[in-house]
């Protein structure tokens, strides 16, 4: 079933869009089933759950941290994390830089934005992102690489609203690209779209979808 789900989703997205299989709450056996079907990118939202799984699973898996990350947990994932989707403060970025340096790595990060109508403590506004990107500190960070943005649409049935929110994320991406990353080819990702809305997200310019339940349940 998992293999069929994966190929069904892949049929619906461009070949250059990345499918991150969100394996939170699912077990090692299910992840192995996806892995054996060729899936190499997996996403988790909790550091502790991620740590447990990393130890039990093949080490060519590329792990994505998609949930809120506390600064004091960065050290656990710094040795191996492939992409952190949820950067929303300069202090977190600073800690990622520090731990990446300790591990002699450069860690790829996405800036997380809040565009959904639901209340959330997490995610930046465009103004906050601009403040972050213009801060004096950021030029000193040698071991992080900001490769794009991430966001979530509201969990509603109104397709227009969801589409508009994805459009807003795409717009944020283009504003940042033209102001801060014009000559930086690494800044190219928009991580948006989940099980219920990934097709809309792709239409609005997503380069990376994060799909869980549609694969695993």
Ligand X SMILES: *Cc1c(COP(=O)(O)O)cnc(C)c1O
Binding region for ligand X (CB under 6 A)? 22, 24, 45, 66-67, 194-196, 210-214
If the CB atoms of residues 103 and 195 are measured against ligand X, the closer one turns out to be 195
Both structure tokens of 67: 């949930």
Both structure tokens of 72: 């004091």
Both structure tokens of 202: 């792709």
Nearest distance in Å: CB 35, ligand X: 18
If the CB atoms of residues 66 and 83 are measured against ligand X, the closer one turns out to be 66
If the CB atoms of residues 75 and 214 are measured against ligand X, the closer one turns out to be 214
Nearest distance in Å: CB 46, ligand X: 10
Nearest distance in Å: CB 100, ligand X: 22
If the CB atoms of residues 65 and 78 are measured against ligand X, the closer one turns out to be 65
Nearest distance in Å: CB 212, ligand X: 3
Residues 6+ apart with CB under 8 A from 97: 107, 141, 142, 143, 144
DSSP 17-72: SEEEEE-TT--HHHHHHHHHTT--EEEES-HHHHHHHHHHS-TT-EEEE-S---GG
């Amino acid at each position: 079933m998992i293999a069929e789900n994966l190929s069904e989703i892949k049929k619906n997205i461009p070949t250059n869009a990345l499918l991150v299989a969100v394996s939170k709450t699912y077990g090692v056996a299910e992840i192995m089933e996806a892995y054996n079907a060729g899936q190499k990118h997996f996403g988790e939202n909790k550091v502790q759950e991620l740590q447990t799984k990393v130890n039990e699973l093949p080490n060519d898996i590329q792990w994505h941290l998609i949930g809120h990350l506390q600064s004091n947990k960065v050290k656990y994932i710094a040795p191996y994390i492939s992409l952190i989707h949820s950067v929303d403060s300069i202090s977190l970025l600073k800690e990622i830089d520090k731990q990446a340096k300790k591990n002699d790595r450069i860690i790829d990060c996405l800036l997380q934005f809040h565009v959904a109508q639901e209340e959330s403590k997490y995610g930046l506004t465009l103004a906050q992102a601009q403040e972050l990107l213009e801060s004096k500190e950021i030029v000193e960070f040698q071991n992080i690489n900001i490769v794009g943005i991430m966001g979530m649409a509201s969990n509603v049935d109104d397709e227009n609203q969801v589409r508009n929110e994805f459009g807003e994320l795409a717009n944020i991406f283009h504003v940042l690209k033209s102001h801060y990353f014009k000559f930086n080819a690494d800044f190219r990702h928009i991580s948006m779209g989940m099980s219920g809305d990934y097709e809309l997200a792709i239409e609005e310019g997503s380069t990376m979808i994060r799909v869980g339940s549609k694969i695993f349940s």
